[in-house]
Amino acid sequence: ASYIHLNPARAKCFYLENGGLVDYAWSSYPLYLDPPKKRPDSLAVDRALGNLGLADNRSGRKEYGRYMQKRVLEIACSEKPGEVDERWAKIRRGWAYGGDDFRVRMQEMLDGVMEGKRRDSYSGEQVKKHDEREAQRLLSDGLVKLKLDVADLSALKKGDARKKVVAWVIRNNTSVRNEWIVQQLHMGRASNLARYVKEVDEATEGRLWKLRKMM
C-alpha cells in the first residue's frame, strides 16, 4: 500500500517540496491517517501499518504520516524518483504470467493503449524501449514546431527557453531518465531539469508560456 500511495509523488502530481501527499484527493492515503470510524469498512489498514511495526491508533497513524512524508521528500530530492527504494525493484520490473505468445499479445495491446500517455514507473524492458521511442518522437515533433534542427541544439544555451519546453513535454509524457533528456537537448546537468520543467509548468505569461502553447 505504501508503494502505491507514493505513485502521485513519483508522477509529480503535486509540488513535492511544498505540497503534501495527504492533500492529494485521488488517493486512499489520507484515510489511513483517520480513525477507524471515519474510514469505510472495506479499507483495511492493519497490514500497511503492521509492516512498519505500527498500531492503528493515534500515535501509530501519526508516525505513519511522518514516514510517508519522509519518503515524499526522498523522492523530491532524487533525479530518479521511480528508483528511490531499491526494495521495490521487482515490482518496478513488472510481472507476467503465461507463455511467450501471451506476453507478445500483451505487449502489442500495451503499445496500443500507451501511445502518448505518461507512465509513472517502468514495468519491464519493453516499456522502457517504448518510452524511449515515444520520447524521441516528441523531441522530433517539438523541434519541428519550434523550427529547430538537432544540429542547432549544441549551439544554444543550456537553459534556452525552447529546450525547456521540449524537455517539459518529454518529461510529462514519458518516464525516460532525466539524463536521457538533457543529453538529447544538450542541457547540461540532469539535476537542473526539475527546475526547468517547473518553470514551464508555472509560466502564466512571457516567452515560456507562449512556447508552451505551441506544443
- Write down the pLDDT at residue 119: 46
Q: Position 97: which residue type? A: Y
- Write down the pLDDT at residue 125: 56
Residue pair 20/69 in contact by the 8 Å Cβ criterion: yes
Mean pLDDT in order along the chain per 10 residues (215 residues): 68 59 76 90 85 88 87 70 51 54 63 50 54 88 92 93 94 86 93 90 90 89
Among the listed residues 90, 81, 110, the one whose alpha carbon sits nearest the alpha carbon of residue 16: 81
Is this structure's pTM higher than 0.85?
no
Distant-in-sequence, close-in-space partners of 196: CB < 8 Å, separation ≥ 6: 159, 163, 164, 167, 168, 187
Residue pair 123/109 in contact by the 8 Å Cβ criterion: no
What is the rounded distance in angstroms from the CA atom of residue 176 to the CA atom of residue 71? 22
The number of helices, as runs of H, and strands, as runs of E, in the chain is 13, 0
- Write down the pLDDT at residue 63: 92
